[in-house]
Structure formats: structure tokens, C-alpha cells
Copies of this chain bind each other. A is one copy, B any other.
């Protein structure tokens, strides 16, 4: 059973967990292995990948770049601990999940035409589309290699889970692209897409360390349920930040998701809500889809759309959805036996995900 106040004296309450330290541990243990894996790539792919990860700048000079929040590596190490193994057992899983995540970023940025990520020009902008495709492919292959070279039955099972998650990730991107060209997307379709695009790989991060540590499929599936709903909470927050986030914090443009006509949760919830603001929003977005001036829209035009989404209740619904998914994730944890300290840390990470500003 889950308890935020575990009895054993080595554990901390969820409130007492230092989430920064957990994220830092994930980064510290996994980054050297990640860098060693990336160093195996043939030139110029090693350089392009190093640029993407923020280890060098566009001129090839060493850089102390923003490598992202590193939630997934932290989860993969906790995953190993949930199965009673040392955190280090989860490292190849953390690295493999990060490689798949970054493979998808490289390809998605190109497909979506995104020019900025983590405050820097995207790979296709700096090194061209061919390198973005190629290095993405290489990171995907490397992910499987890092796991399979362990050579155990557990590694094979971990790779199978990663492969399933990757297929869902790709399904989600396919849905995301097709929804951008559709006038109406239901809330259910949006949640399915986000479950594929974000939930599946976060779920895998939470099971992969445990599988490498010898957990059975039932325990791994339950951990994945926590990760899946955590992913949906994560994405709901991302969707809020994609419209109302502070560009200085997110590293993205203002109204980023609106500029890309993304049918994200606040938008589809607002369109489904009914009422005057919802209808006016629907008319505007339908006109935008046919407009040839869309690319030169002013800040005010996007601000108008954001205000209508908020007025129709899309912002509030999405905030509530993040809290709902957070609660379901926490509840799922009660289905797995694990050290109470680890359970408290997983709870704290879930709390962090829904309150973050970037």
C-alpha cells in the first residue's frame, strides 16, 4: 500500500524528497554512459549528436548546454531500485530511453519545422535535414545496441518493452501530424495521441530499470501504469506551457503550440466545451486553417486565441486533467511492492512534474 509517510527510518516523506538531487543523480550516472555511446557514432554524426545534446555549440566548442530536465533517467534509476536492485542497474535503461527520446526530438523537430529547442537552433537548422534524419536513426539504433549488448534475457525483455514504446511514440507523432490538418479533434483522440507520444516512453522509463533488475512482467506492467499516467500529467502541463509558458523558461517561442496549429489539450477541450467563446474560437481556427497570412500573424492575434481558449475553459480543464492523471499515477504505485523510500521518491517526482515551469 502507498503511504506518503513510510515507517522505516531510512525513508523520507514525499514532501521531504529532494527532487533536484534525484534528477541530478540520474544525470550524473547516465550522462557518461550516454556520451560514451554517442562517441561510437561515425563522424560527423558524433558531432551533430553532441550539438543536439548541448555538449558542444554550433562551432564545435565545448558547451555546458541545457540537456533537458532529465526526468526519464531519474525514473529509470528509481525503477531499478523499485525492483530491489542498485540504481546503477538501471543506467543502460536510462541511456536507452534517453537515446530514443532524443531520436524522436531530432525527427519531430524536422517534421514539425521547429527551429528552436532548449534555447538553441535545432539540428536540422544548423546541420541540415539529412543530418537530422541520419543522427536520429543512429540514436535509435544505439538505444537497442546499448541494451542488447548486456546479453541477458532481461536485456532482451527490456529491449522489447522499449521497442513497443517506440512504436507507440511513432504512432503518436503520426496522429499529431494528421490532427494538425483536421478541423476537429476530440478530447479522447488528443489523450490517445498524448498517451502514445509521451506516456509510452515515460512508462518504459519506469519499467526498464526494474526489468533489468529482474522484475517480472506483472510488476513491470504496474510500474508502467504509473509512468503512463505520469506521462499524461507531464504532457498536460507541457500543453499549458506550450501556450502560456514563459519563453525565457521554456526556450520556445511565445504561443508556440498555437503557431504550429497544434490540437493540444487546452484547444480541444475549449472547442468541446460549447458556449460563445468556444464557438468563436472554432470559427477563428477554421478560418486560420485556410488563411495564407497565418505565418505573419501578430502577437495580438495569438493572444486573442489564447484568451478564447481560457474563456472557454480549456486552460482550467487541462490543469485539472494534469491533477487527475497525477492522482491515477500515484494510485497505480500501490499495486507494486517496493522500498518505501523509492515509493516516496516516485511520488515526489510526480509532484514535481505537475508544478514545473519548463
Give A contacts to B, CB under 8 Å. Answer: 41-45, 103, 107, 110-111, 129-130, 133-134, 136-138, 140-142, 144-145, 148-149, 151, 153, 155-156, 159-160, 163-164, 166-167, 170-171, 173-175, 177-178
Contact = CB atoms under 8 A, between A and B. Distances in A.
Given A42-B171, A156-B155, A171-B42, A107 B137 contact: yes
A178 B44 contact: yes
Secondary structure of the A contact surface, majority rule:
helix
B170 A141 contact: yes
A175 B134 contact: no
A110 B137 contact: no
B145 A163 contact: yes
29 contacts: A42-B171, A44-B174, A45-B171, A103-B137, A107-B134, A107-B137, A110-B133, A111-B130, A129-B129, A133-B133, A134-B173, A134-B177, A137-B137, A137-B170, A138-B167, A138-B174, A141-B167, A141-B170, A142-B167, A144-B144, A144-B163, A145-B160, A145-B164, A148-B156, A148-B160, A151-B160, A153-B156, A155-B156, A156-B156
Given A111-B130, A133-B107, A174 B141 contact: no
Nearest to A178: B44
Q: What is the total number of copies of this protein in its complex? A: 2
Contacts of A163: 141, 144-145, 148
Contacts of A167: 138, 141-142, 145
Contacts of A155: 156
Contact of A45 (B130, B151, B153, B174): B174
A347 to B, nearest CB: 32
Nearest to A193: B42
A136 B111 CA distance: 13
A257 to B, nearest CB: 18
A72 to B, nearest CB: 18
A43 B174 CA distance: 8
B149 A160 contact: yes
